[in-house]
A and B are shown apart, each in its own frame.
Chain A
């Protein structure tokens, strides 16, 4: 028991930390491609500066994403040996494809993206940026495919028994396009675009509030706002698709997300609430029949509840799944509200005067990050007690050869190292933001000299 819990804590901690970075890389990658394309079309030097500035921040997130990602790959073997033997035949081909199609593409072109500005022609550089961006998108494909296979296994058969049992692949494309992979992949991609675009919004909103780099920041803010608006609306659609998929393929998870206990019966939808697992009730504000309506367009339609499953096949942490899921949804709605309001003001040409709204955007960078994290928490905790849905239990999947002391040692090690890593990341990010997209001595000083002349000549 102890070993299992420690192994789970370590995996959860290392993967949650890792997942701060890849969505930023994917999202910033998209923004970089846009900035650089505009530069090449218009030859406007400001977009060139924006591209170079954001490349530096991209490098930071990418670097940390790579090293924390290597940890993840090896942790399957070190901490989840039974799982690795069980799924290797299926899961392995997705990981191999990720390495060879995605990582090699990203890392190969990364050198040119970061260091090639003065070495290759602008269009060759743009091609490299696109290569890195596509690489990071492909990487998400294979990882989400592998994870989705754990949620909704397909294209396999089981060979052997007991410790020798394992899933063997029978149909590669059925494995890749398993019932949940497409819905979940689009949801993950859009979540990543939001993480990236909100970072850009935050930094440039900060400059606008401070009155620094004003013209260049307006340009960057406009582009990032369009990206953020489109994709936060898009998230409504992909989120809904995912929820329908969960209802169909993993009813126990959906029931936990809404705290729906009755085996068969109309299900409500809560805006917020608290689940009491023992009493099997939820206290909170609800739309009666809301979940039934959302899934079947009929508020009285029956939805499978937790009690339809044997005790040992229900997610043990119902309230946690409920809370994480609701937090994700609430943040999603907030992002839609924020971006629509800002877009409206932009259209009325009033946005950049609204300092209060810009201040909200400075802090809103945390919202998509939190939503990405809690969304995954809900997805993974909702799958419990299974590591591979209905096939392999988490409690059977960890490495028997590893002792709890060894895991405690590595867990403490990761805590310390990742804390240092996070501190350095924030420190460097802050430094780069303070430094800005270019040296202020070249252009930004001009208005200031005018101000000085005004003061000297006494003209207000």
Chain B
């Protein structure tokens, strides 16, 4: 198989897709988290500030989902087709939540009526919460594997099978992590009483996340042993979980010192490191078959042709610096605390 810098192309693309998903989780993670907190703010002014904190950037963040999905389709068409058709109902719900969230952001402040704003606030917050949760549920199912059999056909029971206890745990882990991440982002963007309230909420969220994460990790080690095989056979990889714990520990440490930029950096790093853990645990498999290991989809079985992967590596190499460029420009333009004006949501 052809390689580039000693790594074969399917593996390169595995890294690219992983990088895109982790970028997506960091970016949409804080705005899902901010959305999940929305109903905790009682005053109209606070809600508007919280909404406008993500106002100019949420749309750009969601593009990472489109790029990540496109990258999966392009690089691992077999995985994309098999996985999305198997998790049909969860993905449809995910899409409906995406729609409700976007229209809630767009429409809530366009009318004065109390009922109008309240309904959209609920729609925004509930859909943000569900999206964070569903992403975790999907991740939990990827970690456990799904009932894929011959001809890439899903043979399981459908929707409720995907809501198994482990997937629910990973769902709550993701939600709580995004809420920590979102609270820190909002702290960077707010002042006064809302800021004070968020400091309290952040403390609770960190404790909540640590408890849920602890339980989920323990459950993974005890009941899904195949996920830790790679670490046992290759002890150097233990660096990653150790770094993850250090990164998590840094969040409350920096938050207590009111160094929220640093805390945000570490909550972002935590999200990436957790995905790195997942990536190590899975590789070279993309989708574990619970029917029979011979139906496992590996990166090699699922990958597009080397020619296609090379073309896309070129596209990414040209495109990624551009994307980084405009992302930097937008965040720089809107840096600092939120100030409402006549163009705000």
Instruction: Give the B-binding residues of A (Cβ under 8 A).
Output: 59-60, 63-64, 66-71, 73-74, 76-85, 87-93, 95-101, 103-112, 114-120, 131, 159, 163, 166, 168-170, 172, 399-402, 406, 409-410, 413, 417, 421, 424, 428, 431
Contacts and interface: CB of A to CB of B under 8 A. Distances in A.
Given A73-B66, A74-B95, A96-B312, A105 B326 contact: yes
Given A116-B333, A168-B307, A93 B77 contact: no
Interface stretch (B97-105, B194-202, B284-292): B97-105
B165 interface: no
Contacts of B3: none
Name, among A70, A104, A172, the residue most crowded by chain B CB atoms within 10 Å (CB to CB): A104
B149 to A, nearest CB: 10
Contacts of A172: 311
- Top 4 closest A-B pairs, CB basis? A88-B77, A92-B74, A77-B84, A111-B56
A108 B152 contact: no
A445 B316 CA distance: 55
Contact of B304 (A89, A99, A417, A428): A89
Contacts of A70: 62, 65-66, 95, 98
The binding surface of chain A is classed by DSSP as helix
Interface of B: 55-57, 59-60, 62-63, 65-67, 69-71, 73-78, 80-86, 88-89, 91-92, 95-96, 98-100, 102-103, 106-107, 110, 151-154, 158, 304-305, 307-308, 311-312, 315-316, 319-320, 322-323, 326-327, 329-330, 333-334, 341, 343-344
Given A92-B304, A100-B320, A111 B330 contact: yes
B93 to A, nearest CB: 8
Contact of B152 (A71, A85, A92): A85
Given A96-B315, A115-B55, A169 B307 contact: yes
Given A104-B323, A117-B343, A406-B158, A84 B60 contact: no
B56 A112 contact: yes
Contacts of A119: 333-334
A59 B100 CA distance: 16
Nearest to B69: A73
Contacts of B91: 74, 78
A402 B305 contact: no
Nearest to B76: A88
B71 A96 contact: yes
5 contacts: A73-B73, A77-B81, A84-B80, A92-B304, A93-B311
Name, among A76, A84, A108, A114, the residue most crowded by chain B CB atoms within 10 Å (CB to CB): A108
Contacts, number: 232
B213 to A, nearest CB: 29
Contacts of B60: 104, 107-108, 110-111
Contact of B319 (A79, A101, A107, A406): A101
A116 B341 CA distance: 10
Contact of B344 (A59, A115, A163): A115
B56 A169 contact: no
A400 B106 contact: no
A95 B70 contact: yes
Contacts of B77: 84-85, 87-89, 92, 166
Given A73-B69, A95-B74, 4 more contacts: A66-B59, A88-B81, A409-B92, A421-B103
A92 B63 CA distance: 16
A413 B74 contact: no
Given A108-B330, A169-B307, A78 B84 contact: yes
A112 B70 contact: no
A109 B325 CA distance: 11
A77 B82 CA distance: 7
Contact of A413 (B57, B78, B96): B96
Contacts of B312: 92-93, 96
Contact of A110 (B59, B98, B107): B59
A377 to B, nearest CB: 24
Given A85-B81, A118-B341, A424 B103 contact: yes
A92 B343 contact: no
